[in-house]
Structures are given as structure tokens and as C-alpha cells.
């Protein structure tokens, strides 16, 4: 009896990416790439770049507009990128570190953490950055775009969760994850004072990592804190009731 064996077909890089990447990271990468493609379409379709400038102004993080009601920018700026190198490096970093964290945490917790870091990076940029432009040109406030703040928050989580893992710094220098994290933080601190001139939003990077650290350390888990207070009060009440019952149960002579 003969059996038919279908010919082996090697999967291409795209199909391999979709099959090996967890849902959360895959969705974020696809969304960022799709928005970047839309940016190019808008840029090519606007003769003098007016439409592209409007896109960045109202969907990037413009601190002046943010404090005047455009709160949605704390999310939309994460999906915009400056050029092919910007999005390429960000998505590669997200894929390298985010996939491992999503498999370790699960998709829901990973996406929640990513959102906290991204929004936290936006809040840090607005709070610390120069958000008071000249009155005559209020919309000319510096705009921040890119997912770097959220992604560096993921890198922080990776370094704290897997500190002894060996990774390649600059793709050829082996280094433990905990030391890699120290190098990244030191670089962002050095960039902090010159971020406006260099175009690197170090404030957003540090803000994303700070909010990620606070989230991991459960600093602002208000609900958990309230539950603990409620539990302690309930325990104290039961203890008082129990003492009263023990006293009443004593025999009288």
C-alpha cells in the first residue's frame, strides 16, 4: 500500500512571524506598520506637507493640545513613527523582548502593562517637557511620536524578570539582561539634557520605564490597598466579637 506524502513547503518569513509571535505583540506591530503606511500615503498625497503636519499635530503628542483637552493623544502618538529606521528599530525591540514577556504574563496583562508604560511616557513628557510655547504660535509646541517609551518599559520588565538572561547588545556584544538594563537607563539619563536638540525623547523613555516600574511594584494598586484595609477591619471586628463570645462562655460561680 502506498501513501501520499505532500511535498514539503518551507514557510516564508511573514507566515513564520504570524505563527510564532503572540497575539498581543503581533497586533501592536501590525497596527504600527499599518499606521506608518498611512503616514507615507498622507505625506505623498500632500503637496507641501500640510496634511502630514496636521496628522502629526493632532495625533502625535502635542503638549499644548493635550493640556487643552486632546487627551486621546496619549494613545495615538504610540502608533506614529518618524522614519523607517525609527519604526524598524522599535518593532524589532518590541518583538525581541515583548514576545517573551507576553508568553510569561499572558496577553491581557502584557497589553495592560504596555498601555500603562505608553500613557505614563506621555504624562511624563507633558509634565516635565517644555509645554509652554509662545502665545502667538501655541500649536508649534514640540510633538512626540513613537512607541519607544512603552517599549523601553517592556525592556525594563524583561531585565527585572529575567536578569540573568544573555542578550546581544548592539547585536554582537553578549551581556546579561540586568546589565543591559543599566546601560539603557544610563544612556537615557545622558540624553535627558539634550533630548530636544538630538530628537530623542529621553523624557518619554524614562517616563515609560518609571511608570512601568511603579506598576510592577504595585505602588498604585488602589483597589488592592482598599481590599487589604477592608480585610483588616473585618478581621478586627471578628476578633472583637470572638473575644466577647469567649467572655460570655465562662462559667459563673
Instruction: Tell me which residue range forms the domain holding 118.
Output: 18-220
Q: Which of 146, 39, 38 is nearest to 91 (CA)?
A: 146
CA–centroid distance for 102 within its chain: 12
pLDDT at 249: 42
- Please tell me which residue, 4 or 213, carries the higher pLDDT value: 213
pLDDT digits (tens, 9 = 90+) for 111-130: 999 999 999 999 998 887 55
Residue 4 maps to a domain? no
Report CA-CA distances (Å) from 36 to 106, 202, 252: 27, 22, 84
The CATH number linked to 144 is: 1.20.1540.10
Task: Please state the domain count of the chain.
Answer: 2
Prediction pTM value:
0.77
- Please tell me which residue, 233 or 223, carries the higher pLDDT value: 233
Residue 200 maps to a domain? yes
Residue 77 maps to a domain? yes
pLDDT digits (tens, 9 = 90+) for 156-169: 999 999 999 988 87
Report the DSSP pairing between strands 166-169 and 173-176: antiparallel
Q: In this structure, how many other beta carbons lie within 10 angstroms of the beta carbon of residue 75?
A: 14
Please tell me whether residues 38 and 80 are part of one structural domain: yes
Residue 3 maps to a domain? no
Residue 13 maps to a domain? no
Amino acid at each position: 500500500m502506498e501513501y501520499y506524502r505532500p511535498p514539503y513547503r518551507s514557510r516564508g518569513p511573514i507566515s513564520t512571524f504570524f505563527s510564532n509571535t503572540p497575539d498581543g505583540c503581533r497586533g501592536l506591530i501590525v497596527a504600527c506598520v499599518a499606521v506608518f503606511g498611512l503616514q507615507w500615503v498622507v505625506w505623498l498625497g500632500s503637496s507641501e506637507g500640510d496634511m502630514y503636519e496636521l496628522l502629526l499635530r493632532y495625533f502625535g503628542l502635542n503638549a499644548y493640545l493635550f493640556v487643552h483637552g486632546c487627551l486621546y493623544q496619549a494613545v495615538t502618538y504610540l502608533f506614529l513613527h518618524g522614519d523607517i529606521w525609527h519604526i524598524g528599530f522599535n518593532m524589532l525591540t518590541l518583538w525581541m523582548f515583548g514576545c517573551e514577556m507576553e508568553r510569561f504574563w499572558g496577553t491581557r496583562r502584557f497589553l495592560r502593562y504596555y498601555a500603562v508604560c505608553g500613557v505614563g511616557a506621555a504624562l511624563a513628557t507633558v509634565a516635565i517637557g517644555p509645554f509652554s510655547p509662545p502665545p502667538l504660535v501655541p500649536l508649534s509646541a514640540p510633538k512626540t511620536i513613537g512607541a519607544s517609551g512603552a517599549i523601553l518599559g517592556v525592556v525594563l520588565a524583561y531585565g527585572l524578570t529575567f536578569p540573568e538572561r544573555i542578550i546581544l547588545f548592539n547585536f554582537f556584544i553578549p551581556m546579561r539582561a540586568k546589565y543591559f538594563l543599566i546601560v539603557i537607563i544610563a544612556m537615557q539619563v545622558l540624553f535627558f539634557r539634550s533630548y530636544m536638540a538630538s530628537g530623542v525623547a529621553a523624557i518619554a523613555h524614562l517616563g515609560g520605564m518609571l511608570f512601568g516600574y511603579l506598576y510592577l511594584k504595585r505602588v498604585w494598586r488602589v483597589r488592592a490597598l482598599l481590599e487589604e484595609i477592608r480585610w483588616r477591619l473585618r478581621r478586627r471586628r471578628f476578633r472583637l466579637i470572638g473575644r466577647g463570645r469567649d467572655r460570655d462562655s465562662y462559667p459563673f460561680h
